[in-house]
Amino acid sequence: MIGKAWSNSSLTATLHYNQKSDSVLFYKNRLAGDNISDFRMQMEDLHKCYTGRSEKLIIHAVISPTPEEGINLSNSDWTNIANSYLQGLELSDHQAIGFIHSDKEHKHLHLIINKVNEKSLKLYSDSFIGKKSQKVSDQIASKMNLTRAKQVMNERRRIDAIRQESVIQQQVTDEPETIGSKQKFRKLVNQVLKSKFRNEEEYFKELKNSGFIVHRYYNKETGELRGYGLEKDGTTIFSSDLGKEYSLTKLGFRSAYPANKTEKIQDTKREPLGLTNNNQIKVLQDFMQQNGLKIEKLKDSRIHYISLGSKYYIGFRNDNGGIMLYNPFEKTQYGPDGLTSIQKYKDEPFVIVEEFFDYYQHLSLHSESKYNYIVLNSGKNLPDLVNIISREVEKKVYLSLKDDLLGQVIIKLLQSNSHTKGVEIAEINFYKKEENQSSKLHSEHMNIDKNITCPTLKSDEALYLEQEEDVENLKPIKLR
């Protein structure tokens, strides 16, 4: 039995990796409920209680018996292995989820363990977690009369020795056919690198033109491109085997992203490309459906699947040519700021929403109605909102906003700003997102407090305000 373990920072990505079509959720420890959403919410709530500096708050463990033994293990046997493993690592009082995978040639167990202790709220020390994991797995195998890792290793060494001896006796060697393969590959790749490329896709395309078959290798949990290999005339060589100078990082195709995930991407040399990887597109489609978008809306011409460097996003264009970028792990932006105005009907009212998810949710609920839409995209675009509304004062305005500080600021702005006071606000709808990420709208016809003020905001909600500015004095700006 082999045991591996490591610490991860993303609970969402780890859960997504383990929810394969041929995986079975069979185990939970110190968790209530019976589905992934319940378990994730409880683990995330405990993460919020942790006040330390570590970002890696979960352990991902894999326990693999031999193929023959794995097939014959019952559910009670797997449960016993999971309990014994947690007990051996002194993690019995930590939250954990267990999956059985059958996607490879043998059954194996995946455990996702919360490092934050439920009682003390302290973090479990993961020092030498790989060695500890193998030691505990070996003890479990010995106790259950299963094959130990050391036995497997000795058997493999014995087989390798027999094969080597057979090769020597038969005097069989492929050296004449493969001598110089790396040198030949380097020579061809160096010839390709005489040209300049803006991104790895252009580089890969030129390699194909030179006769190579390019193999891309992706991180199984995040979907990010982590490396590549080259094949020619039946020989395949990894880029790292050619030399460090041929890696994507050394070639400049994997530049560091901003530390702040909501910060706008400034590197204009890395231009967005259309996404072609079907697995990555499926991840983005699942993400959008979890946020309330129906499947028929995913084919809208305003939605773009985008590859930017080694990351991939769902993109939504604004009026100034910039793109709002979303994926399950971050929200960012490429290009200039700007809101998105969708004006199909000359005399119909406007609906103001904050993000493109909100636009599609409202559109789905009012598919038979005629509305023009303004998608704010960011609080920084409030001057553009004033500009549009001030030119359309004769039209009614409907507000469908999140029940948050930015939603209150938008209402205060439209009711008190001298350029938009004449606008008739016909209805105000606030909505809150449930834990399962589906949106439940509830209408509130309400009187807004006239004394509400606009505090100084931070991060993406920094808007366009300084501390001393007042929304009553905000003037429309010329659209770019």
Higher pLDDT pick, 478 / 155: 155
pTM, to two decimals: 0.39
How far is the C-alpha of 474 from the C-alpha of 464, rounded, in Å?
10
How far is the C-alpha of 313 from the C-alpha of 338, rounded, in Å?
18
What is the average per-residue pLDDT within 115-129?
93
The DSSP secondary-structure symbol of 265 reads B
How far is the C-alpha of 248 from the C-alpha of 240, rounded, in Å?
10
Question: Strands 225-232, 23-29: parallel, antiparallel or unpaired by DSSP?
Answer: unpaired
Q: What percent of the chain has pLDDT over 90?
A: 25
- Is 460's pLDDT higher than 90? no
Give the model confidence (pLDDT) of 139-189 as tens digits.
999 999 999 888 888 888 888 888 877 766 664 444 444 447 888 898 999
What is the average per-residue pLDDT within 305-309?
82
How far is the C-alpha of 64 from the C-alpha of 465, rounded, in Å?
57
Mean of the per-residue pLDDT values of the chain:
78
How far is the C-alpha of 414 from the C-alpha of 434, rounded, in Å?
28
- Is 263's pLDDT higher than 90? no
Q: Which residues pair with 425 in a beta bridge?
A: 397
Confidence label for 254 from pLDDT (cuts 50, 70 and 90): low
pLDDT score at 57: 95
Give the model confidence (pLDDT) of 423-452 as tens digits.
677 667 666 544 333 333 333 333 333 333
Sheet containing strand 108-114, strands side by side: 2-8, 58-64, 108-114, 96-101, 23-29
pLDDT score at 455: 32
Three-point CA angle 259, 263, 266, nearest 5°: 95
**Dihedral angle, C-alpha 377, 380, 384, 386, nearest 10 °:** 110
pLDDT score at 172: 43
pLDDT score at 169: 63
pLDDT score at 458: 34
With DSSP H G I counted as helix, E B as strand and the rest as coil, what are the percentages for the chain, rounded to 5? 35, 25, 40
Give the model confidence (pLDDT) of 71-98 as tens digits.
999 999 999 999 999 999 999 999 999 9
Confidence label for 108 from pLDDT (cuts 50, 70 and 90): very high
The number of angstroms, rounded, from the C-alpha of 373 to the middle of its chain's C-alpha atoms is: 28
State both tokens at 326. 């979303």
- Is 302's pLDDT higher than 80? no
Residue among 394, 461, 448 at smallest CA distance from 416: 448
How far is the C-alpha of 182 from the C-alpha of 165, rounded, in Å?
27
Higher pLDDT pick, 141 / 290: 141
